[in-house]
């Protein structure tokens, strides 16, 4: 089995971290009630249940999972009921039994997929709400219920949502702007560098009032994105309102767009690299940003701040390669699950960039998954100090599987462990320097100095199922979600105070050596 890695934004719902090419060839969905539709939906259900049985981190009973999915249909029509009695499954509508079915074997995903299809069709024959729901709504409802019965990170993406997710991960044909909708049309929030929009002269603050001659007044964000995207090298004519410049007609030639995740600035001789997510281009963009910053800055840098605050994750393989940018050797992350191929070790393999400079990684309560891997890898290898608050604690790895309807089922596949061995699930990364609840940078640095003379249990293993122990551990540096400038002040001062920086690094290395 060939694997590559994925992770999607926690802001979008449940996080996704590992993509496995266990895809099944797509087939077209028919209309509800046809033989073709029944064959297709039975296959969709069977493939999804088989995926759960094969790769989910825990061994589950397929009959329980399948029935949980069908029971999700009560969201569409609360007057239906499904009940298992021994070896039979009974359906009822408005309190009256409408059918009884023999249950397949407990480990027969194909049989339960076919039964699920039969239950849906028979319920639709008595429930107008189900009959009018449409196949995609039914898939979404059933697989949402299946995922909810597993854990908070497993999830289902409908065909349209999966298409949008793939575009965000892999890139798309577009113009290169971040937008918001306003009553007049589409407001340009920012223009990505080196994109068609920048080359055409679009600016932040522009209001797009028409797209290809069609008014954008009252448009919603989904349709705005749909109309701005299109085939590579195709043209889109934007009618733009720009303050005193009045109305402008700007033609933009669409190009391949990968959302930008990296920005940089220099503060007090310290290079600040901000990473907002991990997509296919992040490692290249981060390396390019470091080179660009050195080229455009005359004075040498005193150090580097890698700002991962608010970073919800992204592509896991990119978190590995980003870590590898700063490490010459050492383990980056390990993963462990039920499936034999979930046991993997990732090590640094390349020469690092900015190798001579001290590094401080900033994290907060929204730093999750792939960003936690980077923070823990640099911290445990003695390459960086971590400042901020304890991170989110999203320490599980998901596998993404495409279903025959082109939807995507995301299942928890493994848990990842920091190089020093502790699992991050529920626990998160504990900073060397805590900024939770402090009023001034000097206060955080003073606490760090005092801490350096005491025993630190930063690497302590905490059972991810022991909520009380997790809460107690995380209370040492309570999760912050805001992004205060004070965090940056602390990071810069840590870099400037070489003695304290070295003291804290040496303390970590001594801790790991014991």
Cα 352 to Cα 287: distance, rounded to the nearest angstrom? 10
Q: Which residue, 371, 385, 403, 337, is CA-closest to 163?
A: 403
Q: Tokens 């033989």 sit at which residue?
A: 35
Distances (CA, A) of 75 to 70, 71, 133, 369, 461: 10, 8, 11, 31, 40
3-class DSSP assignment, residue 416: strand
Q: Compute the distance between CA of residue 400 and CA of residue 383 in angstroms, rounded to an integer.
A: 32
Q: 137 φ, ψ to 5°? A: -65, -40
State the DSSP code for 272.
Answer: E
Sign of CA dihedral 325, 497, 372, 306: negative
CA 190 to chain centre: 22
Contact, 352 vs 298, CB < 8 A? no
Gap between the Cα atoms of 413 and 401, Å rounded: 11
Please provide the DSSP assignment of 336-368 as one string: EESSGGG-EEEE--SPPSSTTS-EEEEE-TT--
Q: Is 104 helix (H, G, I), strand (E, B) or coil?
A: coil
How far CA 385 is from CA of 331, 334, 430, 448, 498, in Å, comes to: 17, 21, 11, 11, 12
Given 135, 154, 321, 369, the catalytic residue: 369
Cβ atoms within 10 Å of 361's Cβ, excluding its own: 29
Specify whether 369 is catalytic: yes
Q: Residues 51, 394, 396, 425: which is the catalytic one?
A: 394
Q: How far apart are CA 402 and CA 302, in angstroms?
A: 47
Its sign, for the CA torsion 278, 280, 284, 285, is negative
Residue 396: beta bridge partners? Answer: 415
The DSSP secondary-structure symbol of 203 reads -
Which residue in 380, 391, 425, 479 is the catalytic one? 380
Residue bearing tokens 């046809």: 34
CA distances from 77 to 42, 63, 68, 220 (A): 21, 22, 15, 29
Cβ count near 472 (within 10 Å): 11
Name the pairing type of β-strands 96-102 and 155-157: unpaired
Residue 97's CB is within 10 A of a number of other CB atoms, namely: 11
Q: Which residues are catalytic?
A: 369, 380, 394
């Amino acid at each position: 089995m060939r694997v590559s890695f994925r992770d999607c934004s926690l802001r979008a719902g449940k996080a996704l971290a590992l993509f496995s090419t266990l895809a099944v060839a797509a087939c077209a969905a028919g209309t509800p009630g046809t033989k073709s539709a029944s064959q297709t939906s039975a296959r969709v259900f069977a493939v999804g249940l088989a995926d759960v049985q094969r790769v989910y981190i825990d061994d589950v009973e397929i009959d329980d999972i399948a029935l949980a999915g069908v029971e999700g249909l009560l969201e569409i029509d609360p007057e239906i009921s499904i009940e298992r009695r021994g070896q039979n499954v009974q359906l009822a509508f408005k309190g009256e039994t409408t059918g009884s079915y023999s249950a397949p074997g407990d480990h027969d995903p194909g049989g339960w997929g076919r039964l699920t299809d039969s239950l849906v069709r028979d319920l639709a024959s008595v429930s107008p709400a189900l009959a009018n729901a449409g196949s995609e709504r039914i898939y979404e409802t059933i697989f949402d219920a299946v995922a909810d019965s597993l854990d908070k990170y497993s999830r289902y993406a409908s065909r349209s949502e999966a298409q949008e997710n793939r575009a965000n991960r892999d890139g798309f044909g577009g113009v290169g702007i971040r937008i918001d909708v306003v009553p007049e049309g589409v407001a340009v929030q920012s223009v990505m560098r080196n994109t068609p929009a920048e080359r055409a002269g679009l600016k932040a603050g522009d209001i797009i009032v028409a797209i290809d001659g069609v008014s954008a007044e009252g448009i919603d964000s989904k349709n705005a994105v749909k109309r701005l995207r299109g085939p590579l090298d195709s043209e889109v004519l934007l009618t733009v309102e720009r303050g005193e410049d009045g109305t402008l007609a700007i033609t933009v030639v669409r190009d391949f767009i990968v959302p930008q995740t990296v920005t940089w600035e220099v503060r007090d001789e310290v290079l600040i690299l901000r990473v907002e997510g991990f997509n296919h281009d992040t490692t290249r963009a981060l390396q390019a940003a470091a080179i660009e910053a050195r080229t455009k800055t005359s004075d040498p840098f005193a150090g580097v701040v890698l700002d991962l605050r608010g970073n919800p994750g992204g592509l896991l393989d990119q978190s590995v390669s980003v870590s590898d940018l700063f490490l010459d050797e050492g383990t980056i992350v390990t993963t462990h699950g039920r499936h034999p191929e979930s046991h993997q070790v990732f090590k640094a393999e390349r020469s690092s960039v900015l190798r001579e400079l001290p590094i401080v990684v900033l994290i907060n309560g929204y730093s999750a998954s792939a960003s936690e891997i980077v923070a823990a890898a640099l911290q445990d290898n003695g390459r960086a100090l971590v400042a901020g608050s304890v991170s989110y604690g999203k320490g599980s790895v998901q596998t993404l599987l495409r279903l025959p309807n082109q939807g995507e089922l995301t299942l928890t596949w493994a848990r990842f462990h920091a190089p020093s061995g502790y699992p991050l699930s529920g626990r998160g990364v504990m900073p060397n320097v805590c900024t939770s609840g402090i009023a001034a940078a000097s206060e955080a640095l003073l606490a760090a100095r005092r801490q350096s003379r005491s025993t630190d249990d930063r690497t302590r293993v905490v059972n991810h199922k022991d909520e009380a122990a997790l809460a107690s551990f995380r209370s040492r540096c309570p999760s912050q979600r805001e992004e205060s400038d004070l965090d940056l002040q602390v990071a810069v001062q840590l870099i400037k105070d070489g003695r304290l920086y070295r003291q804290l690094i040496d303390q970590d290395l001594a801790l790991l050596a014991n």
